Amino acid sequence: MGTLFAGVLRAGGNDVTLIDRDPETVAAAEAGLRVEGETELDVRVPATTDSESVDANVVFLFVKAHDTGVALESAGSLLDSAAVCTLQNGLGNPETVASFVPEERVYAGTTAHGATEVGPAHVRHAGAGKTTMGRYFTSDGGLAKRIAARLSAAGLETEFTRTPEEAIWEKALVNAGINAPTALARVENGALDGGAGERLLRRAVEEGAAVARAAGRSPPEDIAERALDVARSTGSNVSSMRADAEAGRETEVEALNGELVRRGEEWGIDTPVNRTLSDLLRLAYRGQS
């Protein structure tokens, strides 16, 4: 996702620097970052492994949820005055960002774009969608609207919202219903349309929605149906959690189903399906506990 956003923003004439810990990715971006699929472009993007060498007004965070703290710890002076915007999956990322920068500099939201890595600084833009963002902890002073306008002008349709937490919860509930079941069963998203897959999806989402409401959020009443619609519309897709699990990488289950379980305990909401999905993933992929 970082490669996609960096490439599109750079092609749109914006001053962008890609920061990545992999020297091969940095070299490839500077030689010519490539996006194919929904978007086709080949553009040189300034890139570095040294975040301390970059002076930025806005930092977009695109690492996996479990790497958020590590990425911010390594950012150093990059965070001295920059706004930090997380469009990551899962719950808890804005709170982690707020442990590194003041709350008034934390921006958050969601994106429906899909990107798959093909090689260093080379991604396939698998699906286009809307991005939603706003200032997370305090009312917006105008910067979120300007960021949204800049993203939209570059070709990444973005909507400003005064309640980014609602968008984050809604996407987290959809992902909780799709990602863990498909990762465990090793099936494409469309397998959740009907039968056992649909029962798992609906129960995981409904449990999460009960947690959200207990926490004072307002997920749509038809959130389970919305999750099912996403599974149908992306029927041939391999979920990111399944891709990570099959590649032996740590998954984001702790920021999704696992976090719903933890918050359910806090609010007195039972979440047996999300607990079972989380434990099965921890058991099957022993990089997590």
> What CA dihedral angle connects 4, 62, 50 and 74, to 10 degrees?
180
Structure tokens at 209: 């929605």
Cα–Cα nearest to 224, from 275, 168, 177? 177
Residue 250: inside a domain: yes
Question: Phi, psi (5° rounding) for residue 21?
Answer: -80, -10
Measure Cα distances from 280 to 92, 133, 173, 195, 285 in Å. 22, 33, 18, 20, 8
Residue 133: inside a domain: yes
Residue 167 to residue 171: CA distance in whole angstroms? 6
Instruction: Give me the pLDDT at residue 127, please.
Output: 83
Among the three residues 96, 131, 162, which one is the final residue of a domain in this structure?
162
Residue 10: inside a domain: yes
Identify the three-state secondary structure at position 13. coil
End-to-end CA distance of the chain: 27
DSSP assignment letter at 239: P
Claim to verify: residue 226 and residue 176 sit in the same structural domain: yes
Residue 19: inside a domain: yes
Size of the chain in residues: 289
Claim to verify: residue 25 and residue 140 sit in the same structural domain: yes
Q: What percent of the chain has pLDDT over 70?
A: 99
Instruction: Give me the pLDDT at residue 232, please.
Output: 95
Claim to verify: residue 157 and residue 265 sit in the same structural domain: no
Q: Give me the DSSP letters along 33-52.
A: EEEEESS-EEE---EES-GG
Write the pLDDT tens digit of every residue in 102-128. Answer: 999 999 999 999 888 899 999 999 888
Residue 78: inside a domain: yes
Q: Per-residue pLDDT for 285 more than 90?
A: no
- What b/e readout covers 230-261, taking b as 16+ CB neighbours within 10 angstroms? bbeebeebbbbbbbbbeeeeebbbbbbbbbbb
Claim to verify: residue 19 and residue 79 sit in the same structural domain: yes
By annotation, the residues acting in catalysis are 171
Question: Phi, psi (5° rounding) for residue 157?
Answer: -55, 120
CB 266 within 8 A of CB 211: no
Claim to verify: residue 86 and residue 201 sit in the same structural domain: no
> What CA dihedral angle connects 257, 258, 263 and 265, to 10 degrees?
110
Residue 265: inside a domain: yes
Residue 289: inside a domain: no
Other Cβ atoms less than 10 A from the Cβ of 34: the count is 20
Q: What percent of the chain has pLDDT over 90?
A: 90
**Domain housing 20:** 2-162
Q: Is 87 exposed, middle or buried (0-12, 13-18, 19+ CB in 10 A)?
A: buried
Among the three residues 133, 162, 191, which one is the final residue of a domain in this structure?
162
Structural domains counted in the chain: 2
Instruction: Give me the pLDDT at residue 287, please.
Output: 53
Write the pLDDT tens digit of every residue in 220-279. Answer: 999 999 999 999 998 988 999 999 999 888 999 999 999 999 999 999 999 999 999 999
Among the three residues 162, 182, 198, which one is the final residue of a domain in this structure?
162
CATH number of the structural domain spanning residue 11: 3.40.50.720
Claim to verify: residue 23 and residue 107 sit in the same structural domain: yes
Claim to verify: residue 152 and residue 170 sit in the same structural domain: no
Other Cβ atoms less than 10 A from the Cβ of 80: the count is 10
Model confidence at 208, pLDDT cuts 50, 70, 90, reads very high
Claim to verify: residue 202 and residue 249 sit in the same structural domain: yes
Rg (CA), the chain: 18
- Among the residue ranges 39-43, 49-53, 284-288, the one predicted with the least confidence is 284-288
Residue 25 to residue 247: CA distance in whole angstroms? 19
Claim to verify: residue 111 and residue 58 sit in the same structural domain: yes
Claim to verify: residue 277 and residue 174 sit in the same structural domain: yes
> What CA dihedral angle connects 88, 67, 63 and 55, to 10 degrees?
110
Within 118-194, where are the H helices? 143-154, 164-185
CATH number of the structural domain spanning residue 278: 1.10.1040.10
Claim to verify: residue 170 and residue 153 sit in the same structural domain: no
Claim to verify: residue 123 and residue 211 sit in the same structural domain: no
